[in-house]
Every structure is written in structure tokens, then in C-alpha cells.
Amino acid sequence: MLTTAKIEEIRARIKTWKNKGESVAFVPTMGNLHAGHISLITEGRRRADHVVASIFVNPMQFGPNEDLAGYPRTLEADQQKLVEAGCELLFLPTPEIIYPRGLAAQTFVEVPGISEQLCGATRPGHFRGAATIVCKLFNIVQPDIALFGRKDYQQLQIIRTMVEDLSLPVEVMGVDTVRESSGLALSSRNGYLTAEERAKAPALKRTLDDLAEAIKAGNAVDSAINSAKAALQAAGLTPDYIELRQAQTLTPATDKDKELVLLAAAYLGKARLIDNLVFNR
């Protein structure tokens, strides 16, 4: 696996592949890789001739009180996992390479509406940072397909909307969430959980499962969501939000909508956990 911080080296290698008519899959990450990330690499190998990954802890998507400095960085272990999974090219840029004029002077990409709700309401500017870095990485790598985990469901829909609105020639694919045996969705931020908190964390997935069943049974949505929030609190989590949305647009669900998604975020110690559940009514 070639590891480089140089944009020109990335482009040269990919140009060589594409001149041969070979396809490229891309997995952008912030590092501290786990089995969920590796599932994206594996799926990329199934769908393209070559797989490229990036590791960049993006300062633009961190708020002033968030964990940019403390975000876990495990480069050596990450590289080993990528090699074992069959990744051939790793882009490892610095903030100076990505934002040479600094964040304050950086052109940004923002997907309106969808970016300000749900996690965007709690983390203003977060999805502007995510959309901007993904757009930049797409322009550098120019992949045929890009793979993202469905755990970050709102981010996935934002990237899809950005690609459509900006007419980017990239197929955006969501890959199923990888979970622990307890049901807890894998996340780099799970490392913030203590042993006691990790035992409580699976309550988020259980609560979404129970809530989906209640909605499919015809229970009033508002009442069912309030009961779900109470269940989370009883389990030791502090709900940020639980919302029922139309699965494709993330607009508030109506009685006529059949394809639905439950999205939730909750605080547990130092960690903010997110999860979602897509279902049909």
C-alpha cells in the first residue's frame, strides 16, 4: 500500500489505473479504524478494481467545545488494518495541505435544510465541514464509487444530496452498520465509554427496535417517542433527540409515508452515541 500526503502522487497513481480502464472505490475516514471501516474497504474491493482510503481528522467539522485535540489517532494500527483488507493507496494529508489558506479563508460546501436538523442542530457547522472535506476528497481522488457507513445516516443523505446537486460523477453507496454482539453500533467514539457505560450503551439500539415495533403496531408516534426517551433515561442515557423521518428525504414523516427511518442521539458519559433504524410501515 502506497501512503502519501501528496495530492499529485494520489492523482498520478489513479490516472495510471484509469488509463487502463480500471475502476476506483474510495473510503474517506478520520482514522482510528474499526471493523465498520474495514467493511467499507471489503465492499469497495467487491465493487471496483482498486480501493483508495483517506485518513484526515477534519478540523472544519469539529465545534469549539468538541474533541478535535483528543480525537483518537492510531495511524500505525490503521495502516496495518488497511493493508490486511486490501487497500492499495492511502491519502494521509495534513490540515495545511487540505486548507492551505486556513479555515477562515476556505471555500466551503453546504447542503441547506438537511444539514441544520437532527445532529446539525446540536453540532452547528458540523455538516458544512463534512460536505466540504468530502467534496475536496472527491475532487482529488475522482473515484467511481465512494462508500460510507449507514450508521451516520444523516451524513450519508447529505453527501448523496451534495453529489446530486453538484453533478459529481461519483456513485455514493451506503454500507450496513457493523455492530457488537450487544447491538451497539461500532464507532471510534465508543473508546470514550467506561466499562460500566459500555454495558448501558446497547439500550440505544434496543430502544429503537421497540419504538419501531410500536409505530408499526399503530401507536401514536409522539407518545411512542416520549416513551422511548423515558426508556433511554431509565437505562442511564441522556437523549439528545429521537425523530421519525421519511427515509430518503429526512423530512418529518407523515401518516402517508411508508419508508421510514428512526434517528437518535444520546449522551453517555463523555460519548455522544448515534444510531438509526430504517423500516417500512
Contact 118, 263 (CB under 8 A): yes
Q: Which residues are catalytic?
A: 37
Look up residue 42 and give its amino acid.
T
Contact 154, 250 (CB under 8 A): yes
Gyration radius of the chain's alpha carbons: 19
Q: Which residues contact 79 (CB under 8 A, 6 or more apart)?
A: 1, 3, 90
Q: What distances in angstroms separate CA 189 from CA 78, 136, 198, 274, 279, one per listed residue?
A: 15, 25, 11, 10, 26
Q: How far apart are CA 230 and CA 201, in angstroms?
A: 15
Kindly state the helix (H) or strand (E) to which residue 233 belongs, with its residue range. helix 221-234
**Three-class DSSP labels, 20-87:** CCCCEEEEEECCCCCHHHHHHHHHHHHHCCEEEEEECCCHHHCCCCCCCCCCCCCHHHHHHHHHHHCC
Q: Which residues contact 80 (CB under 8 A, 6 or more apart)?
A: none
Contact 198, 184 (CB under 8 A): yes
Q: Nearest to residue 72, comparing CAs of 197, 191, 152?
A: 191
Alpha helices in 63-152 (DSSP H): 75-85, 95-98, 119-122, 126-141
